[in-house]
C-alpha cells in the first residue's frame, strides 16, 4: 500500500510512537470516548476525523493527561503514560495544542513562548528553538512584545502551535487548528504542520473537522463517531470512499443528483 508521501504503509504499524488501546473516558456518567484503539507511526501525520461531539477532544485530552481514562492504555515510545500528569507527559515528549488556542492573553508573545519551554533547562537550546519558531512565524517575531490577547484568531493559533514547539516534542497533538480561520490562513497553518513533520521530524496527531485539508496532508486516518472508531485507512483510500466523500467532503456521487443520496444511511453503522 502506498501513501500520499509515497511511503509503504504496513497494515500492522511497524514502529508506533503512540499506541492507544481500548481507552474509555467519562465526564461523570457521560462517556466521551467508548473504547478507542489507534496507532501512530513515528514520523507520520495521522488524522482523526469526526463530527461535533464525536470524542476528538476527549481523545487528545486523554493522551496528554488532561483527563484520565477509566479503562485502557496509552503507550508512548514503549512506556505506559495513561493517568500520568500532563506535566510528566509533556516532559516525556508529547505536546498538546488545545482546541480554541488558549494562549495566555495578558502575557506577551515572547512570554507565551517561554512558558512553552518551562520544562527545559537548556538555555542555548531554548534560544535556538525561539529562533526556529520566529523563522516559521516571522509575524510573531514582529509582535513579540505585544500581549497575546491583542493578536487575531489566526495569529493566536500560530502562537499556540509555536508554544507547543518550544518543548521540542516528538509527538504533537493538534486539536482543530483550522477552526474559525480564513481559507488562506488554513492553508498557511497546514503548510506549517507539514514543514514541522518534514523538517523537525515531529510526529503529528491531527484532529479535524476540515476533512478535505486533513486528508490532503495526513498519511493515515481514523474516523470517529459517537466515541468509537468506525473506519481507518490510508488517506489516499479514505478520500476515495463514498461515505467519506458524501459525509465528510460534501461530494455526491456522479449521476446521483435528485436521488436524495444525502439521506442514505451510513454503511459503517
Ligand atoms: N465538559 C463536559 N461535560 C460533559 N460532557 C462533555 C464535556 N465535554 C464533552 N462532553 C461530551 O463528550 C462527548 C465527546 O465530546 P468531545 O468534546 O470530545 O467531542 P469533539 O469531537 O471534540 O467535538 P467538537 O468537534 O465539537 O469539538 C460529547 O458527547 C460531549 O457532549
Ligand atoms: Mg473538540
| Residue range 59-68, pLDDT digits in tens | 999 999 999 9
The domain limits of the chain are 16-102+170-238, 242-269
C-alpha 53 – ligand 1 centre gap (Å): 5
Domain 16-102+170-238: CATH superfamily, name plus number: P-loop containing nucleotide triphosphate hydrolases (3.40.50.300)
From atom 7 of ligand 1, which residue's Cα is the shortest distance away?
27
Calpha distance 4→70 (Å, rounded): 36
Would you tell me the crossing angle of helices 153-165 and 123-136 to the nearest 10 degrees?
150
Site to probe by mutation for ligand 1, drawn from 31, 47, 50, 58 as the one with most ligand atoms within 8 Å of Cβ, is 58
What's the average model confidence in pLDDT over 173-198? 93
Per-residue confidence (pLDDT) for residue 268, from 0 to 100: 44
Lowest-pLDDT range of 5-19, 73-87, 232-246: 5-19
C-alpha 6 – ligand 1 centre gap (Å): 35
C-alpha 231 – ligand 1 centre gap (Å): 20
Prediction pTM value: 0.89
CA distances from 133 to 143, 168, 185, 223 (A): 13, 11, 17, 31
Cβ neighbours, 10 Å, residue 179: 15
Per-residue confidence (pLDDT) for residue 11, from 0 to 100: 55
Per-residue confidence (pLDDT) for residue 180, from 0 to 100: 85
Per-residue confidence (pLDDT) for residue 2, from 0 to 100: 46
Strand order in the sheet with 16-27: 30-41, 16-27, 71-76, 79-80
Ligand nearest to the Cα of 66, by number: 1
What's the average model confidence in pLDDT over 153-160? 93
What's the average model confidence in pLDDT over 239-264? 63
202-218 tens-digit pLDDT: 999 999 988 999 999 99
- The total number of residues written for the chain in this structure: 269
Per-residue confidence (pLDDT) for residue 228, from 0 to 100: 95
Calpha distance 192→161 (Å, rounded): 9
Q: Taking CB atoms and a 6 Å cutoff, what residues make up the pocket around ligand 1?
A: 27, 30, 32, 50, 52-58, 99, 209
Amino acid at each position: 500500500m502506498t501513501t500520499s508521501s509515497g511511503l509503504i504503509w504496513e497494515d500492522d504499524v511497524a514502529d508506533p510512537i503512540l499506541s492507544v488501546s481500548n481507552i474509555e473516558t467519562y465526564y461523570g456518567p457521560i462517556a466521551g470516548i467508548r473504547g478507542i484503539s489507534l496507532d501512530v507511526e513515528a514520523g507520520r501525520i495521522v488524522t482523526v476525523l469526526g463530527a461535533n461531539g464525536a470524542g476528538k477532544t476527549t481523545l487528545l485530552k486523554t493522551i496528554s493527561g488532561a483527563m484520565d481514562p477509566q479503562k485502557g492504555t496509552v503507550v508512548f515510545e514503549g512506556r505506559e503514560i495513561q493517568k500520568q500528569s500532563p506535566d510528566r507527559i509533556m516532559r516525556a515528549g508529547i505536546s498538546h495544542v488545545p482546541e480554541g488556542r488558549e494562549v495566555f492573553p495578558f502575557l506577551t508573545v515572547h512570554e507565551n513562548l517561554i512558558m512553552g519551554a518551562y520544562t527545559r533547562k537548556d538555555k542555548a537550546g531554548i534560544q535556538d528553538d525561539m529562533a526556529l519558531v520566529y523563522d516559521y512565524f516571522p509575524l510573531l517575531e514582529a509582535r513579540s512584545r505585544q500581549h497575546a490577547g491583542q493578536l487575531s484568531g489566526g495569529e493566536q493559533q500560530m502562537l499556540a502551535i509555536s508554544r507547543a514547539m518550544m518543548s521540542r516534542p516528538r509527538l504533537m497533538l493538534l486539536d482543530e487548528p483550522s477552526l474559525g480561520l480564513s481559507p488562506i490562513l488554513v492553508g498557511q497553518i497546514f503548510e506549517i504542520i507539514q514543514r514541522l513533520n518534514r523538517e523537525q521530524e515531529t510526529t503529528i496527531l491531527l484532529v479535524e473537522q476540515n476533512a478535505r485539508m486533513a486528508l490532503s496532508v495526513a498519511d493515515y486516518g481514523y474516523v470517529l463517531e459517537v466515541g468509537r472508531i468506525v473506519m481507518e485507512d490510508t488517506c489516499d483510500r479514505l478520500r476515495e470512499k463514498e461515505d467519506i466523500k458524501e459525509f465528510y467532503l460534501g461530494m455526491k456521487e456522479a449521476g446521483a443528483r435528485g436521488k436524495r443520496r444525502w439521506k442514505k444511511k451510513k454503511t459503517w453503522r
